A and B are shown apart, each in its own frame.
Chain A
Amino acid sequence: GAVVSQHPSRVICKSGTSVKIECRSLDFQATTMFWYRQFPKQSLMLMATSNEGSKATYEQGVEKDKFLINHASLTLSTLTVTSAHPEDSSFYICSARTGGAGETQYFGPGTRLLVL
């Protein structure tokens, strides 16, 4: 199956710093990548949809200036949490779609962010 990697797997940072998370599709080209956030014991919450070469589409309530998304190539998307605060501590998961809109999303292993 399609493989998606994420880096780092875990990060601890001080409040006010910025954190960058990378999402890569290893064996396929992903025209669309998705960024999710998951709080403990809750379901996935879509933050934004990222299409290669264009601006990301953010879900309602997600601050685009705080969560910067760059999808510069068909195999790489990055999420930067700017000026992180403790309430941003969460499990961030990316997924990538192998083909068109109806295709399956494959998930990266996730990045656990802890902001002190």
Chain B
Amino acid sequence: GQNIDQPTEMTATEGAIVQINCTYQTSGFNGLFWYQQHAGEAPTFLSYNVLDGLEEKGRFSSFLSRSKGYSYLLLKELQMKDSASYLCAVMDSNYQLIWGAGTKLIIKP
């Protein structure tokens, strides 16, 4: 079956760095997405990785290793507004998005 695993909840301190991991097992791979979702709102797109390596975009970076079925989202210089759920999604061979359950990130002052 297809499976996306990510931690349920993480806590970090304002100004610090946090890494949210995502492991996947899917039928085929056509890219991995990270979305941010604040409570009560729809997801917003953060990043897309299809090749191995690190993609940096401001305070957020996303890493992919296809051979390991592994990705992480790295958030630097954490701000209180970064408190949200972070969703990992993999596009399978049928170009369907397979969603993880999301990681709730709590930022403490």
To the question of whether A and B form a pair in one complex, the answer is yes
Q: Cβ of A101: which chain B residues have Cβ within 8 Å of it? A: 30, 95
**A61 in the interface, Cβ–Cβ < 8 Å?**
no
Inter-chain contact A107/B100, CB cutoff 8 Å: no
Give Cα A32–Cα B99 distance, bound, in whole angstroms: 18
Contacts of A19 in B (CB 8 A): none
Residues of B within 8 A of A108 (CB): 42
Does the CB pair B43–A44 fall under 8 Å? Answer: yes
Interface footprint category on A: 10 to 19
**A107–B31 CB distance below 8 A:** no
A73 to B97, CA, bound (A): 23
Contacts of B102 in A (CB 8 A): 43
13 other contacts beyond A105-B33, A106-B45, with CB at 8 A cut-off? A1-B45, A43-B87, A43-B100, A91-B40, A93-B42, A93-B43, A101-B30, A102-B91, A102-B95, A104-B45, A107-B43, A108-B42, A110-B41
Is B60 on the interface with A (CB-CB < 8 A)? no
A60 interfacial by beta-carbon distance below 8 Å: no
Q: Is B70 an interface residue (CB 8 A)?
A: no
Q: Mark A41-75, 1 if CB is under 8 A from B, else 0.
A: 01110100000000000000000000000000000
Interface string of B72-109 (1 = CB under 8 A from A): 00000000000000010001000111011110000000
